[in-house]
Structure 1
Amino acid sequence: MRYLSLLLLSFLLTACSQTQQGIGDTISVAIFGSPDVQLSDQQIRDMPYANMYARINDGSRIFVVLAFAEDGQLKWLTQDRAMLVTQNGRLVKTTGLEDNLNEVTDLQHDPLLNAKSLVEGAKWTRTLTWTQDKQLHMATANSVFHLAGTEPLTILGVTKTYQLVEENVDVPELNTRYRNRFWIDLASGAVSQAEQYVGPEFFPVEITILNPYTR
């Protein structure tokens, strides 16, 4: 426990020397563990930063502290400086991974932005740019959203009922179809858990928001 506290303190001191505007001033980032990380619910609750669990490309579960909040997007960094960028739970960009999601267009029309009012059959079309085996790809993705009922989730020892939203994605240029899934907090409309991909049915990323970001 003493090591964990010292590690967090060292990240905070590093953050104070940075100039980029982040959460408040600037908050640094930490990832704990190589196998699936094991932190108690109370340890996580006691941290004064937004944080989440992530599993990247079927790897070990890691614990990530939010680095920056900018223009409605949340930026999370891994220990080796890879970055996951999310917008209400949707992965919109990554850097520093083996392969990366470079860009998602038309984000302002993503139905997840107003998840509390998301309706059955909502549609969204955007362009995805990503790398796969280090090769750059671009394609148009057409999504149809399905309200798949409610499911209980237990996060930090608290069990609540969430709206499960399934996003069925069609990529005609690649003759590929796949599904993203999002668990929506019924009260706030925030995505609390998600299963999605860097590229069409390629490089899965799972996240669970533990302490959500609040302005």
Structure 2
Amino acid sequence: MRNLPLLLLCLLLQACTQTQKGLGETFKLAVLGEDDIQLTNQQIAKIPYASMYLRLNGGQQIFVVMGFSEDGQQKWITQDHATVVTQSGRLVKTLGLTDNLNEVTNLQQDPLRDALRLTDGAGWTRVMSWTEKGQLRTGTAVSHFTRLKDEVLQLGGRQVASRVWQEEVELTESGKTWRNTFWVDTSSGQVRQAVQMLGADYFPVATTILKPAKP
């Protein structure tokens, strides 16, 4: 654990005020090395901002704070100025990564928008656009959801009862298949943890929401 960067982060956070929708400055934990970041429950409790752990493409787990929220989308900024955008817990856009998710359509029909009403077999179709090793890819993705065994997540010293949903996805043009997994808070309906692909069976992105954004 790198105490100095954590202390600096906490001091910065305590010195600033969050606006109504999380607008304003972005705070992030800048850490050298390759070790995963793991905050203590006490450190998490002192941070009054929406925050999460983020792991990109199997790399280091980092800690990021939400920088901006608008139109139902949360924008998270990494220490090297990349941007990850989520909506209803789903990855919908990235900027500044080695490869990026450019667009996801039909978000208004995403079953995660009302996750507590998700049912086995629920489906969703959208068009995805992303880059893969620098090459632009576009395709129609068709999903079906299956409920797995419920789990209890330990997040910041709190137990969060969660429904676990597995999303089976197929790209119609190529036949590629992959799975996304979402942990939905049984009380709020918010996605608190997710493992999902940026592209078609390509570039996993793992998120764990320590403190969710305020509605």
TM-score by length of 1: 0.90
Instruction: Look up the match of 2:140.
Output: 140
Asked whether 1:209 is paired with 2:209, we answer yes
Structure 1 residues 3-41: Cα deviation after superposition (integer angstroms, max 9, x where no partner) = 53434555788999xxxx883541312034342013211
Alignment match, 1:50: 50
Q: Aligned pair in 2 of structure 1 residues 98, 68: CA closer, same or farther (>3 Å)? A: same
Distance 2:112 2:17 in 1: 31
For the residues of structure 2 that align with 1:15 and 1:152, how far apart are their CA atoms?
Answer: 32
Q: CA deviation at 1:208?
A: 0.4
Following the alignment from structure 2 to structure 1, what is the Cα–Cα distance between the partners of residues 130 and 206? 18
Alignment map for 1:136-175 (pairs within 5 Å): 136-175=136-175
The count of corresponding residues between Structure 1 and Structure 2 is: 211
For 1:187 and 1:24, locate their aligned partners in 2 and report how far apart those are by CA, in whole Å: 22
8 Å Cα contact 2:67-2:75 kept in structure 1: yes
Percent identity, please: 46
For the 8 Å contact 1:29–1:76, the answer to whether it is kept is no
Aligned to 1:187: 187
- 1:101 paired residue number: 101
TM, length-normalised to structure 2: 0.90
Q: In 2, distance between residues paired with 1:190 and 1:67? A: 19
**How large is the Cα RMSD of the aligned pairs?**
2.2
Structure 1 stretches of at least 4 aligned residues deviating more than 4 Å after TM superposition: 7-16
Query: Partner residue of 1:31?
Result: 29
- Range 32-41 or range 21-30, more displaced: 21-30
- Cα offset for 1:172? 2.0
**CA displacement 1:82-105 (0-9 Å, x = unmatched):** 011001110000000000000000
Name the structure 1 match of 2:8: 6
Q: Distance in 2 between matches of 1:99 and 1:187?
A: 35
Amino acid at match of 1:6: L
